[in-house]
Amino acid sequence: MFADNIAMSQSKSVLNQYKIIANLSGKMVQLARDNHWDEVVAVSQEYISAVQALRQYEPLDDSDRLARKPLLQKILQDDAEIRDLAAPEMARLGSLLGNMKRHQNVLQTYLAPPKTRP
């Protein structure tokens, strides 16, 4: 009986941890929609910690796995939406970095000291 109570308590803790992760992923989606990328990164650190905390728990039984399924689906949907929202921003940043590199190369070419011939 005591072992059953411990197992039940642990499975509730695991499911609660998945709820925490799902809430954090939802918060990250909203921040990404609002274009608050610095805050997305900050919340992602909490998200990573919450995911890593799952490692301390034992695997779930079949009924708890079914209860976890909608949480996992939400987490995966949020992740996909964040990636979709981040793609244009990543392309923009890549373009800016490319422009900066080209600008640096032009400056180096025109500001370099003349080569002397032996």
pTM of the model: 0.71
Say if 72 falls within a structural domain: yes
Residue 101 inside a domain? The answer is: no
- 113 located within any domain: no
Task: Residue 35: give its domain's CATH number.
Answer: 1.20.58.380
Count: domains in the chain? 1
Q: Confidence band (pLDDT; 50, 70, 90) for 5? A: very low
Domain that holds residue 77: 2-89
- Asked if residue 12 is part of any domain, the answer here is yes
- Whole-number pLDDT of residue 11: 67
**Residue 111: pLDDT above 50?**
yes
Burial 88-113 (b: 16+ CB within 10 A, else e): eeeeeeeeeeeeeeeeeeeeeeeeee
25 occurs within a structural domain: yes
Question: Does residue 76 lie in a domain region?
Answer: yes
Mean pLDDT of the chain: 85
- Tell me, what's the pLDDT at 2? 41
Quickly count: other Cβ atoms within 10 Å of residue 45's Cβ: 10
Q: Tell me, yes or no, whether 111 lies in a domain.
A: no
Q: What is the mean pLDDT of residues 87-102?
A: 79
For residue 117, being part of any structural domain is answered with: no
In the chain, the percentage of residues whose pLDDT exceeds 90 is: 54
CA distances from 100 to 37, 47, 56, 78, 113 (A): 21, 33, 45, 33, 21
